Amino acid sequence: MAYGKTATVIGLGSMGWGAALSLIRAGFLVRGVDIRPDVLARFSAEGGEAHASPAAAAASEIIFLFVVNSDQARQVLFGEDGIVAAAPHGSVFVLCVTMAPSQTVEIAGQLVRAGMQVIDAPVSGGHLKALAGEMTIMGSGPDAAFAAAEEALAAVAARVFRLGEEIGLGSRVKMINQLLAGVHIAAAAEALTLAARCGLDLRTVYDVIRVSAGSSWMFENRGAHIVEGDYTPRSAVNIFVKDLGIVAAEAGREGGDTPLTRTALALFQEAAAAGLGLEDDAAVAKVLAERAGLRLPGME
């Protein structure tokens, strides 16, 4: 089969939407799949081909998966109306879902046995980078698959790390990134809550620390949400309940010890249990503020 300029994007959420639009801008015919009718209508208006069923969007050479977790991935791939049964032999599946590495390996194996090519391709960068076609891909997979998908990957990502031919490498590196990201968000919450408890001005603390040795990408990004008391979800608490859950479970399988991950995970779980699951992940600060009998900005 010849690889041209057709692509399917399954899951038009925060990252998938940006990828799909970037592909349209790059001249691809893009088939978008989502279960939300309003999202499909918007996608049509942007010049995409909108489908409610994965199987109906199977005719593309490159198929991106941007669903939320491994259960959804299995469903859209192999479930009722799944895309694999309908896709041409040799189609390239680009798995952009943050999944446990062991799940990625299992799902990729099924795809390969069904005659498909696979790239393990978790992404990072957030919604705005995705919209700009500037995501980062932590990729692994056979060279042939990367060659076939090259133009599509270039359309959605500013940076494609090639971590090796083995499926699972991409997901493992992404997992390590999520470990750090999740612990750093919780640390930013702990630091700013203690600062408030000590009577410090949060804006001042933020301005000093973001240029000091205590800074992190997440402190700079999510710390601003806490200082401003703005918990509009850019990325939700529930995402880190999932992602740190993956880290803790995989660390258990691998025989690693992750005490900070477990501590941060417990905070995100407590936030979700308190009804904050759909708020911005910085809302983990509210859990610590409650424990300290404190009102942070934006808390009633």
Residues binding its own copies (CB under 8 A): 101, 124-126, 136, 138, 159, 161, 163, 169, 172-173, 175-181, 183-184, 186-188, 190-195, 197-200, 204-205, 208-209, 211-219, 221, 247, 250-251, 254-261, 263-264, 266-267, 288, 291-294
The one-letter code for the residue type at 152 is: A
Structure tokens at 144: 């042939």
Please provide the distance, in angstroms rounded to a whole number, between the alpha carbons at the two ends of the chain.
Answer: 60
Structure tokens at 9: 């994007």
Structure tokens at 210: 């973001």
Catalytic residues: 174
Residues 6+ apart with CB under 8 A from 120: 95, 104, 108, 139, 140, 141, 167, 168, 169, 170, 171
What CA–CA distance (Å, rounded) separates 124 from 204? Answer: 29
Are the C-beta atoms of 13 and 96 separated by less than 8 Å?
no
What CA–CA distance (Å, rounded) separates 135 from 174? Answer: 13
How many CB atoms are closer than 10 A to CB 202? Answer: 18
Q: What's the full length of the chain, in residues?
A: 300
Of the candidates 242, 228, 210, the one whose C-alpha atom is nearest the C-alpha of residue 282 is: 228
What CA–CA distance (Å, rounded) separates 55 from 267? Answer: 40
CA angle 47–70–9, rounded 5-degree value:
10
